[in-house]
Structure 1
Amino acid sequence: MLVASLTAVGAQEGPSGITQRTVFAPFDPTQRGCHKPPGLTKELAYVQENEREFLQGVNHGLEMAAKDRGLKYLRSVAENNVPKAVEDINAYQAAKVGALVATSSDPTAVSSSLQRTIWSGAFVGTIVPPPATLLLNAPQYATGKALADASINYIKSQLGGKAKVVLLTQDTMEYLTPRFEAMRDAFAKTPGVTIVADIAPTPVNKEGGFVTMSTVLLANPDIDVVLGGDAVVLGALKALRVAGKDRPNQFLGGIDGEPEAVSEIKKGNSPFKASISLSSPVFGYAMGQFAADWLDGKSIPQAMDILPIALTSENMAQYEADLENPAAVYADPIRKSTYLKMYGNICYDTRDQYVNFPWSSESSK
């Protein structure tokens, strides 16, 4: 039996949720029979890990959805301070905030606070790590494959089928390792491609990418392809330019669709050719809409795929329009389906079925 709305952090514990890997059926928006959570405010709060552009996009979408649905919007930025993130989540739960979205650099540290928020009856949304009443994840293998495929097409059409490749990985994060497994698998099937470096920069940011790529260039000065997250690949691009080893016909590709990467792609003559976009304003807006639905007593998805899109100069204009106005995407079923796919059903009455395992739609494949 679910616990009643909690009055203080650390009060009576509740159900552990779904802890075993589970394959959810497609989301059924016609499900009825749910109730509004009692005693909670019509507020949507966002505990934001840091000011990274990707997370700023989530903020943009959430804020727009809150405005469109008449929710008061609250936000706190932890700046990678995990105790502050925990404190902020606990404060929102104690204030009976009705909906919470949270990201943290240490998901394990915030998980207990998120569980207590779920037990209180509130909506909880997370991006990749559990627990959540709505967990978002990208199909990570498909994301890596999309970037690898784009680079392979370029190698075949522009580089004569031969290339020296650098992979700047994030294999230290278990949730992201499938991205790089997909890249290795794709290149292993491509004659003429040699991976000369396969390494995780430390830290995984622009500076880490610069330092790592500078080291790689000492042994391998002529690089054709560099793949990884946007931030580290942008650092690699800087290293190539500093060393005078950048060429217009190189293929640098990233993941996240961050603004600086987008700016490079739009130049036309930059080595940075593509970014796999996981449109954070679009999924942020969808998450905000489902938070409002939860508070209205409706059934919402338990999980949602953020579908990867290979962003290039050809489709840039439509992508940027969608970033600016995610509400228009959400209102158009066809456009929405290119960004998002939804699974399972949950509401206030069935919140004991919250996701408490590292869900991915690829788990059963």
Structure 2
Amino acid sequence: MKNISLIALCLLAWPALAQERPAGITAQTVFPAFDASAPACTPPPGLNKALGFAKDNDRDFMDGVDFGLRKAASDRGLDYRVDVANNDAAKNAEHVRAFRTANFGAVVAAPVDSPSLAGSLQEQMWAGGYVSSIVAPPATSLLNAPQYLTGKTLADEAAAYIRAHFKKASVVLLTHDSLEFVAPRFTAMRDVLETMPEVTIVADISPLTVDMEGGFATMKTILQAHPNVDVVLGADTVVLGALSALRAEGKARPDQFLGGIDGEPGAVGEIEKDGSPYKVSVSLASPIFGYAMGQHAADWLEGKSVPQAMDVLPVALTKDNLGSYRADLSDPGAVYKDEKRRDAYLKFYGNICYDTRDRYVNFPWSSETK
């Protein structure tokens, strides 16, 4: 009888337990534009005015996120801490749990492995804290780029260059198709290039690692079979590795078109060099979106309504616009305060606050339908 009574009590308690641990929004949902005039709600009780960044690694793009978060935390009076996982998924989850144990009111995550991190992020949200995640759910406020548009922006720049400079062009695509959240970038590149009879895609391959070393090793292998490459497209860090391989093999030429995504400082530096094959980097302005995340974290802790989702919009960087771009990245706070400048980089969707926290995003959101 005691066992039966215990089971009965557990069953009676289950609905309340389920209410305390909601699954969030799990079905694909189209969010309306963010309403900045939405009424405030309850500030989350008992949480520290502290913002933690669970950083996957120290690549330049994530350093930009760190810079923006740090500036926003300083401007809004939040304590700030960053923990770097060095691409170790277990450490990434451990860092999020440590923020929760220390009663941090807000956490931003760059997931190493999103499935293994999800539970730790949910614990933070269930406790009433703010969570923003880069690309992968779950999150109170999920950041993504319109990935197809991002890839198309780069491919359109490459296509224009090819038409102006080549009768025939050998193209290498350094992809990450196994990463479902960024795979539409490479679909867009193929869609653009496959309409061009002057283009031959000689390699369409994912490097083993998404870094300069991976790009270098993959490009070295490609050059053995295709020693004359005209165009290389991919993420900046990988394409920078490919450029190093081209130079090491004596195959780099001023008329080549190398282009990447992320606005990495190394890529921007190459664009500025006379005679560099690196022509374009599609920026996702990580200091600016990092600053926005920090502002939203502070707003959440004050009981304000914040966006459920945020687009970071692609900007093609060339020699012509690097000056204004660098000025924006050096002072993300000024960009955030200037609505016109901010809207060139960011777009906000949906509304959520502490009182509606059960409506967190728990599906791979994108503003795109393609």
TM over 0.5: yes
Letter in 2 for 1:58: V
Q: Superposed, which structure 2 residues align to 1:254-293 within 5 Å?
A: 254-293=260-299
Counterpart check, 1:139 vs 2:146:
yes
The Cα shift of 1:243 comes to 1.3
> Partners in 1 of 2:238 and 2:68 — Cα distance?
25
> Partners in 2 of 1:244 and 1:95 — Cα distance?
53
> Partners in 1 of 2:44 and 2:194 — Cα distance?
52
The Cα shift of 1:104 comes to 2.2
> Partners in 2 of 1:97 and 1:191 — Cα distance?
55
Whether the 8 Å contact between 1:166 and 1:195 is mirrored in structure 2 is: yes
Query: What do residues 234-293 of structure 1 show as CA deviations (whole Å, max 9, x unaligned)?
Result: 111111111111110000001111111111111031001111101100000000001111
Selected match of 1:296 from 288, 296, 302: 302
Q: What does residue 365 of structure 2 align with?
A: 359
Q: What does residue 128 of structure 1 align with?
A: 135
Letter in 1 for 2:339: P
Query: What do residues 48-74 of structure 1 show as CA deviations (whole Å, max 9, x unaligned)?
Result: 111111111000000000111111112
Whether the 8 Å contact between 1:42 and 1:72 is mirrored in structure 2 is: yes
Tell me which stretches of 4 or more aligned residues in structure 1 moved more than 4 Å: 10-13
Tell which structure's C-alpha radius of gyration is larger.
Answer: 2
Q: What does residue 7 of structure 2 align with?
A: none
Whether the 8 Å contact between 1:306 and 1:340 is mirrored in structure 2 is: yes
> Partners in 2 of 1:323 and 1:358 — Cα distance?
28
Letter in 1 for 2:105: G
Q: Superposed, which structure 2 residues align to 1:82-161 within 5 Å?
A: 82-160=89-167
| Count of residues in correspondence between the two structures | 354
Query: What do residues 147-191 of structure 1 show as CA deviations (whole Å, max 9, x unaligned)?
Result: 00000111112224x311110101111111100000000011122
190-199 vs 176-185, which moves further: 190-199
Q: What does residue 243 of structure 1 align with?
A: 249
> Partners in 2 of 1:57 and 1:233 — Cα distance?
19
Cα RMSD for the two superposed structures: 1.4
TM-score for both structures, normalised by structure 1: 0.95
Counterpart check, 1:350 vs 2:320:
no
> Partners in 2 of 1:349 and 1:11 — Cα distance?
17
Secondary structure at the counterpart of residue 344 of structure 2 = helix
Identity level (%): 59
> Partners in 2 of 1:12 and 1:116 — Cα distance?
14
The Cα shift of 1:11 comes to 12
Whether the 8 Å contact between 1:13 and 1:116 is mirrored in structure 2 is: no
Q: What does residue 317 of structure 2 align with?
A: 311
> Partners in 2 of 1:126 and 1:138 — Cα distance?
12
> Partners in 1 of 2:238 and 2:136 — Cα distance?
22
Selected match of 1:322 from 325, 328, 332: 328
TM-score for both structures, normalised by structure 2: 0.93
Q: What does residue 87 of structure 2 align with?
A: 80
Counterpart check, 1:17 vs 2:8:
no
Whether the 8 Å contact between 2:111 and 2:133 is mirrored in structure 1 is: no
> Partners in 2 of 1:73 and 1:113 — Cα distance?
19
The Cα shift of 1:40 comes to 0.7
